[in-house]
Structure 1
Amino acid sequence: MDDDVHTSISIDSPSCNTNALSIVKSNDTSPPPPIPYVGQIFPDLESGRQFYYCYAGYAGFDVRRYFSKLVDSVIQSKKFVCSKQGESMKKMDTNLVECHKISRKSHNVRESCGAQITFKIDTGTTN
């Protein structure tokens, strides 16, 4: 695909310390990755995704896909968020009868982290 990918980014969360790039191990001599900025352009979606995953790893948070917008089966935009984005689901009503139900214990990992990035495909048209 020859279209450029434009990014719009919103990193706004005290709970997911995305701007503190000092989380790196002291013996790491590699330079820090560039910080994403609004209007940044990538040659393709995969390049943008790799860039953000690298940045997120360095900043100390994990990333998950959030949504993709398709038009005529072609990706128009794709959003990635911090893996801790959102709120945890409410616990089930304990008044319900549960016969022989085995549940797996899991940890609550949702902390309302607001780190996110949206990649938009530049089709050359203005909206």
Structure 2
Amino acid sequence: MQICDFLFPKDKVAYIISSANMQEALEKLEQTQYTAIPVIDGEGKYVGTLSEGDLLWKMKYTAGLSFENLDTVKVHEIKRRVHNECVSINAYLEDMLELAADQNFVPVVDDNQIFIGIIRRKNIIEYYTSNITD
């Protein structure tokens, strides 16, 4: 089964642009209550996933960085501790099973590496659960 049937489209996904600042990223995570969000560049290409932990580690290891000056750090300057793989929209659900085991969501890109949405781990689990029990 192709993953396009499970795609949660970009216009419904919380994500952040890599040129945004750390304050904006923190606010986006707080607003959505997510622990991680996709990062895309100015061209719309997926470049990684930013987590709460990434923000905390950046604060811990950056001298002089505090809640008052988070707007001075750009998202692309924050080291991401975990590299979340993305998949092509042409992939099959079976190709994503291993990725979904380690990621809450799997970013999906088109043939030009443009971010077009995510597949949520929850949907993958529900699909396999319903097919195993049927």
Q: What is the TM-score normalised by the length of structure 2?
A: 0.27
> With CA pairs under 8 Å and 6+ residues apart, which has the higher RCO, 1 or 2?
1
Which has the larger share of strand? 1
Which has the larger share of helix? 2
Q: What is the TM-score normalised by the length of structure 1?
A: 0.28
Structure with the greater alpha carbon radius of gyration = 1
